Amino acid sequence: MGEDEISATNTASAVTMERNPGSQIALALTVFALVLASNSIINDSWLTNSIESGDQAIKSDLSLGEFSAEVCSEGLCESDSESLEKIYDDCIDSQKGASSSQKEEVCGTYGDWYNAGYVATIMLIISGVILFAATILQVRSMIGHNPRISNFVSGSGGVFIALSILVWSLLLPEPESDPEWGQGLWLAIIASICGIVAGMSGTLQSWIEGPPRMRAHGVRSGSGMNEFVLKESSCGNHTLSILVDSDLIRVAKTDRIGASASTKDILATRRDSYTGFSHQRMDWLDDFKGVWWVVAGASLISSSMISILFLIPFILASTLALFQLMDPERFVISTNSGNHPFYINRWRSNRELTNLAMDLVDDAMISVLRGEELETESLDSRADLIAERFSANREAEQIAAAAAAAEKEAFVQAAQIEQEAPAETEEAPTPSPEEHTSATEKPAVKPTPVVEEDTEVANEKDTTTLADEVEWPEPESVGNQQNEEPEIDASKEEEDEQKEEPAPQVEEKTEVTEATEKEPQEEESQVVEAPVAVNPVTIPPPPPLPASMPPPAIMPPPPLPASPPPPAIMPPPPLPAAMPAPPGMSSMPPPPGMPGMPPPPAGAPPIMPPAIGNQPLPTPPPVLVQAAPREDNLSEDEKDDLLGELSS
């Protein structure tokens, strides 16, 4: 039991081992770029120029810090090299007594060469440091760390090398001839390309691994035979399987086309003719993968610096490195008719399932050779596990996407609410001073619109003044008053119901006076409370007053409307203070037919005067109109004259 448990544990660890070909490529390219950039700094030939005149040939090379020349004449060659800094200093010293402009005109070219090489050298050294750090990060990514940072650093190193070349070319003076690119410049260009490609190793990794899965389960033949999947593509739409039943052994390739599966046989033989099975693992490609990459890089450098023949080992080493990434394995099925080999690689495959199949295929084919059934339970269980994991990941992604969409929508709604709030604040009306009533004041009738007619306002002022100054006698019976009020209310309710369309609202003119604030609370309690009328109307001017000045009837409050509750109402203007009687009229008798009466007690309901001649009252207007504030503009003499005319 113990040995079985140990073997099972070892098998599981081997199956779950992952390969990362993208990181391998990125590491190789990063190291290659580092080596090439270092060699380009010390290379003696960034620009080269050759001149031939007769039997003499001159070849000059320009590097980042030196200028070298080789002169060949009649088979004898002499070469000399000198730093650009020394050449510039010697040129300046030779121009003694010349002005600065003359020195710059003669020696400026050497100075520009030196400055361009000096700046490019510093930038290439910085690029080398970046690539060295990227090499360390790429090694960490191969053992399971996040490759994004390492790829970014590698790409940054390649871009910085390209910037170094660009700056160097811009700082160079205009050459008199057309020089050719030397080895140093080519090495720097190749190093830049390698660094940039290393930064794109994530794309290379996705290209090697293949497209992602679109369905949980991979395609199967559906032939009813025991199917052992040797290789399943990364998308699950292509499989290479061994199919076995009691009569046949088949090696078939199945492709998913739409919703159906198409199966093509690579090998088909009777089971009784199956004589053997061979499986060859090419692990030596992995064992020497470092050698392949190093030889490929060194051969490429040597081909550009030494001889083009080094391209031969470069091609061989690159091919072996590519095979190492594909990780191929060779199978041979032996029958009575001979051996039938075929190859399987892990390129663009479901590596987890393919690795498990490569570990289990030997025992499965040996059991078939013994005459037993093909064992596929372990492989099917792993395939179901992969499908469940894929479904769970897809659901998690959908939930995350829905949560992100909900969060975005909530953010948009919150932004809209914040934008609408200031607009509502600006549109809200400013409360008038009349709405801020004190707690002791009792709310009264809401002000209603008044028609802007000077004559009507004047008449209403006169009428209100007379009605307030006269002391009305007590009616004959209170019961009649109470019986008349419901009738008036009922008639007003009928009139309010018949009015469906509101009349146009006119401007409201109200004034707040100091007398409103100073009136005693006792007079305010006697004010008739009336709710707001439903529809404002224009009130015609009152009829002319008769000579005897009968007291006007006090209108009862109209019924409450069915509309929503009105806004805050403002109190009516307070009753004016009692006007002192003029001299000689303090004991004026009441009008005929109206004996004097004591004032009603405090808190008593409003008293309606009796109708003159027991005639029915005219239908009151449905809307109460607030009178204009009282203004005592009459002098004492004018008051006496007015009272005299009324009493006559």
Domain ranges in the chain are 24-209, 210-282+327-391
Please report, for residues 1, 473, 486, 525, the alpha-carbon distance to residue 352 in angstroms, rounded to integers and kept in the order given: 27, 111, 94, 93
- Out of 45-59, 154-168, 313-327, least confident range: 45-59
Please report, for residues 6, 13, 355, the alpha-carbon distance to residue 18 in angstroms, rounded to integers and kept in the order given: 21, 10, 9
For residue 34, pLDDT over 80 is answered with: yes
- CB atoms near residue 458 (< 10 Å): 12
Q: Are 320 and 55 in contact (CB under 8 A)?
A: no
For residue 244, pLDDT over 80 is answered with: yes
Q: Distance between CA atoms of 397 and 558, rounded to whole angstroms? A: 67
In the numeric block, which tokens belong to residue 527?
């004010």
The H or E element spanning position 487 is helix 478-498
Q: Are 135 and 35 in contact (CB under 8 A)?
A: no
Please report, for residues 61, 244, 365, 405, the alpha-carbon distance to residue 276 in angstroms, rounded to integers and kept in the order given: 67, 14, 9, 59
Q: What residue type is assigned to position 222 of the chain?
A: G
pLDDT 10s digits, 88-101? 888 888 877 777 77
- Residue of 360, 192, 377, 180 lying closest to 279 (CA atoms): 360
The residue written with tokens 């590097």 in the block is: 63
Q: Distance between CA atoms of 94 and 595, rounded to whole angstroms? A: 140
Q: Identical fold at 24-209 and 210-282+327-391?
A: no
CATH number of 210-282+327-391: 2.30.29
- CB atoms near residue 601 (< 10 Å): 6
pLDDT 10s digits, 367-418? 888 888 888 888 888 888 888 888 888 888 888 888 888 888 888 888 888 8
- Residue of 469, 463, 481 lying closest to 611 (CA atoms): 481
- SS3 label, residue 389: helix
Q: What is the mean pLDDT of residues 76-81?
A: 79
Q: Distance between CA atoms of 423 and 410, rounded to whole angstroms? A: 20
For residue 591, pLDDT over 70 is answered with: no
Can you say how many angstroms the Cα of residue 372 is from the centroid of all Cα atoms in its chain? 60
Q: What is the mean pLDDT of residues 336-362?
A: 86
- Out of 31-35, 117-121, 415-419, 600-604, least confident range: 600-604
**Which of 146-160, 213-227, 612-626 ranks highest by mean pLDDT?**
146-160
The residue written with tokens 């987890």 in the block is: 352
In the numeric block, which tokens belong to residue 380?
């099917």
Per-chain mean pLDDT for the chain = 72
The CATH label, of 1.10.357, 3.30.300, 1.10.3470, 1.20.140, for the domain at 24-209 is 1.20.140
The residue written with tokens 């060779």 in the block is: 330
The H or E element spanning position 476 is none
The H or E element spanning position 346 is none
3-state secondary structure 539-591: CCCCCCCCCCCCCCCCCCCCCCCCCCCCCCCCCCCCCCCCCCCCCCCCCCCCC
Q: CA torsion angle for 161, 162, 166, 172 (degrees, to 10)?
A: 40
Q: What is the mean pLDDT of residues 98-126?
A: 85
The residue written with tokens 């409050």 in the block is: 557
Q: Are 279 and 331 in contact (CB under 8 A)?
A: yes
pLDDT score recorded for residue 539: 59
C-alpha angle 600/602/606, rounded to 5°?
60
Q: Distance between CA atoms of 346 and 355, rounded to whole angstroms? A: 8
Please report, for residues 12, 287, 508, the alpha-carbon distance to residue 513 in angstroms, rounded to integers and kept in the order given: 97, 105, 16
Gyration radius of the chain over CA positions: 55
Q: Distance between CA atoms of 578 and 470, rounded to whole angstroms? A: 10
For residue 264, pLDDT over 90 is answered with: no
Name the burial class of residue 624, with classes exposed (0-12), middle (13-18) and buried (19+) by CB atoms within 10 angstroms of its CB. Answer: buried
pLDDT: which is higher, 212 or 314: 314
- Residue of 415, 603, 469 lying closest to 526 (CA atoms): 603
The H or E element spanning position 253 is strand 248-257
